[in-house]
């Protein structure tokens, strides 16, 4: 269904991305190996919130980062800031189009924002001080940092979380209509109030237009009652591969931040109680009890998510606590891969234009991705950290899972995506775990009171 769309104009001031250019591409590792299904028995996908690659790794040695940014008036220096950010910048589809600005990547100052007055101005032109996110830098130094990972779609958190269980949000048989932005009411899923609609993008064959009144955010209301909207859950269930979606409680249910609340057979079937696990800290119990499923998605509490805005953000310690729990387990460390990814760019500056276009609204902007495993590729025998130059997207994670358990393909972006398999070396000697220092322990998070706040509202 992909077509060459470079240069085509979209309606409603929405512009197609240009074709891939060599300027932002680097040669990927050519010695690709099998995904190693005999070695990886567990995959944990940790989903953090709203940060661009440059916002976290602008100055990481050897990575494709920058300390300068483009505005319509010229080039400015990125400001080093604390992790706790007072402003929450717009990151809807329109925000993506504004920031992208026909490929010039200079519209970030024109973003809207929450918690701060007026337009974003120079605020998105920043990077977080490395000391504030030391656990992330330690993981990158010891394991894998993927610096060419792009969102599936230039949009916000609702579709990003769908992309992480499905690889896309097309909902019609022809695959010309894709969900975008947020439903008109919350919770985002089958529990939404009657009359809730979800915006969508329509590909006409030559242009994309955005329409406000799409289906309710529940697959039961999609064409064919969701027949054309399968998720990785369908492939896993078909092969009897265990899975869980760990999510924090919101309004006592957790459904606001369960991507599977939009999946009717899960929301109104037995898996809502057996496979959607609340609170998210249940993962620690499952690790210590040796009952971790084969595939896990892990959604953090709002205060542990890296989401910008007022309040304490303990995301780096939260991620470190889970990585350490696996690393310290002689049962799980030898056979587990942890993938840490941020769901969208959050309106923060990034200098790399998305390298390809499709008629589903993607690719979106770069986000950080870290990979931890005893088989994580090493840069050299004496240097543990590896920076992957391969172009990845969210479908790359799904493709790795599909190949690892021989699940087949969903047929979304997992068909085109490069698997993250080349960030592993299954011929190397199993690596000993390297502890990730952090200011908060596993015990702290297990005893932390839930915030009962949604991780994001856009």
Amino acid 19: pLDDT: 35
Concatenating the DSSP letter of every residue in 15-44 gives BPPPPP-GGG--PPPS------TTT--EEE
Instruction: Answer whether residue 27 is part of any domain.
Output: no
Mean pLDDT over 427-452 rounds to: 93
Concatenating the DSSP letter of every residue in 103-154 gives TT---GGG--EESSSS--TTTTSEEE-GGGGHHHHHHHHHSEEESSEE-SSS
Concatenating the DSSP letter of every residue in 276-314 gives EESSTTHHHHHHHTT---SEEEE---GGGS---SSS---
Q: Tell me: the pLDDT tens digits for 345-394?
A: 999 999 999 999 999 999 999 999 999 999 999 998 788 899 999 999 99
- Reported pTM: 0.91
Task: Compute the distance between CA of residue 157 and CA of residue 229 in angstroms, rounded to an integer.
Answer: 18
∠ Cα 320 325 328 (to 5°): 115
Task: Supply the mean pLDDT for the chain.
Answer: 89
Instruction: Answer whether residue 77 is part of any domain.
Output: no
CB-based contact 401:158 (threshold 8 Å):
no
Task: Compute the distance between CA of residue 308 and CA of residue 365 in angstroms, rounded to an integer.
Answer: 17
Amino acid 250: pLDDT: 75
In sequence order, what are the residues at sequence separation of 6 or more whose Cβ sits closer than 8 angstroms to the Cβ of residue 156? 91, 92, 93, 95, 181, 182, 344, 456, 458
In sequence order, what are the residues at sequence separation of 6 or more whose Cβ sits closer than 8 angstroms to the Cβ of residue 326? 44, 287, 332, 333, 336, 338, 372
Distance of CA 46 to the CA centre of its chain: 8
Measured in residues, the chain has a length of: 458
Instruction: Answer whether residue 267 is part of any domain.
Output: yes
Task: Compute the distance between CA of residue 179 and CA of residue 188 in angstroms, rounded to an integer.
Answer: 12
Scored b (16 or more CB within 10 A) or e, 118-131 reads eebeebbbbbbeee
Instruction: Answer whether residue 23 is part of any domain.
Output: no
In sequence order, what are the residues at sequence separation of 6 or more whose Cβ sits closer than 8 angstroms to the Cβ of residue 277? 244, 245, 246, 247, 283, 286
Mean pLDDT over 163-191 rounds to: 95
Amino acid 454: pLDDT: 75
Amino acid 16: pLDDT: 36
Helix (H, G, I), strand (E, B) or coil at 6: coil
CB-based contact 308:318 (threshold 8 Å):
no
Q: Residue 348 belongs to what H/E stretch?
A: none
Residue 421 token pair: 């398999």
Least confident of 104-113, 258-267, 386-395, 396-405: 104-113
Residue 433 token pair: 């775990």
Amino acid 336: pLDDT: 98
Among 387, 409, 428, 433, smallest CA distance to 63 is for 387
Mean pLDDT over 160-181 rounds to: 97
Whether residue 313 has pLDDT greater than 80: yes
Among 97, 93, 89, 51, smallest CA distance to 180 is for 93
Instruction: Answer whether residue 5 is part of any domain.
Output: no
* % of the chain surpassing 90 pLDDT: 80
Amino acid 117: pLDDT: 78
Range of the domain at 229: 41-51+130-341+357-447
Task: Compute the distance between CA of residue 142 and CA of residue 356 in angstroms, rounded to an integer.
Answer: 30
CATH of the domain at 320: 3.40.720.10
Q: Which residues, in sequence order, are bridge partners of residue 297?
A: 45, 245
Task: Compute the distance between CA of residue 312 and CA of residue 416 in angstroms, rounded to an integer.
Answer: 39
Whether residue 9 has pLDDT greater than 80: no
Instruction: Answer whether residue 200 is part of any domain.
Output: yes
Q: In this structure, are strands 386-388 and 144-146 parallel, antiparallel, or unpaired?
A: parallel
Q: What are phi and psi of 220, to 5 degrees?
A: -60, -25
Task: Compute the distance between CA of residue 118 and CA of residue 268 in angstroms, rounded to an integer.
Answer: 43
Task: Compute the distance between CA of residue 107 and CA of residue 34 in angstroms, rounded to an integer.
Answer: 41
Among 398, 372, 396, smallest CA distance to 386 is for 372
Confidence band of 310 (pLDDT split at 50, 70, 90)? low
Into how many domains does the chain fold?
A: 1
Helix, strand, coil abundance in the chain, percent, nearest 5: 25, 15, 55
Instruction: Answer whether residue 225 is part of any domain.
Output: yes
Alpha carbons within 13 A on the beta-carbon side of 106 = 10
């Amino acid at each position: 269904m992909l077509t060459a769309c470079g240069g085509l104009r979209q309606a409603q001031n929405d512009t197609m991305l240009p074709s891939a250019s060599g300027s932002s591409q680097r040669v990927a590792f050519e010695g690709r190996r099998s995904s190693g299904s005999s070695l990886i028995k567990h995959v944990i996908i940790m989903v953090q919130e709203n940060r661009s690659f440059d916002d976290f790794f602008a100055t990481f040695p050897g990575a494709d980062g920058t300390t300068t940014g483009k505005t319509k008036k010229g080039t400015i220096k990125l400001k080093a800031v604390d992790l706790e950010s007072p402003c929450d910048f717009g990151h809807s589809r329109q925000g993506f189009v504004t920031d992208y600005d026909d490929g010039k990547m200079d519209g970030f100052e024109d973003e809207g924002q929450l918690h701060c007055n007026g337009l974003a101005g120079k605020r998105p032109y920043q990077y977080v001080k490395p000391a504030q996110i030391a656990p992330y830098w330690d993981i990158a130094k010891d394991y894998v940092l993927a610096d060419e990972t792009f969102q599936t779609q230039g949009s916000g958190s609702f579709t990003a979380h769908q992309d992480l269980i499905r690889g896309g949000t097309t909902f019609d048989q022809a695959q010309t209509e894709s969900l975008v932005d947020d439903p008109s009411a919350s919770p985002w899923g089958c529990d939404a109030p009657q009359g809730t609609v979800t915006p969508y993008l329509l590909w006409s064959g030559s242009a994309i237009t955005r329409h406000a009144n799409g289906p309710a955010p529940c697959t039961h209301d999609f064409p064919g009652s969701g027949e054309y909207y399968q998720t990785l859950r369908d492939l896993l269930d078909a092969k009897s591969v265990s899975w869980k979606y760990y999510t924090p409680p919101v309004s006592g249910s957790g459904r606001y931040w369960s991507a599977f609340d939009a999946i009717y057979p899960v929301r109104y079937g037995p898996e809502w109680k057996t496979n959607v696990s609340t609170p998210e800290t249940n993962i620690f119990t499952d690790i210590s009890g040796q009952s971790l499923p084969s595939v896990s998605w892990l959604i953090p509490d709002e205060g542990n998510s890296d989401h910008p805005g007022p309040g304490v953000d303990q995301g780096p310690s939260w991620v470190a606590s889970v990585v350490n729990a696996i690393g310290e387990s002689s049962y799980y460390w030898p056979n587990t891969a942890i993938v840490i990814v941020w769901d969208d760019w959050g309106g923060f500056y990034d200098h790399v234009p998305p390298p390809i276009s499709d008629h589903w609204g993607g690719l979106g902007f770069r986000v950080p991705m870290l990979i931890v495993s005893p088989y994580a590729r090493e840069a050299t025998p004496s240097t543990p950290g590896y920076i992957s130059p391969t172009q990845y997207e969210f479908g790359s994670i799904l493709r790795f899972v599909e190949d690892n358990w021989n699940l087949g393909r969903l047929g979304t972006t997992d068909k085109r995506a490069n698997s993250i398999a080349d960030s592993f070396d299954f011929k190397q000697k199993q690596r000993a775990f390297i502890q990730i220092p952090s200011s908060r322990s596993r015990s702290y998070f297990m005893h932390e009171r839930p915030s009962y706040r949604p991780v994001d509202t856009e």
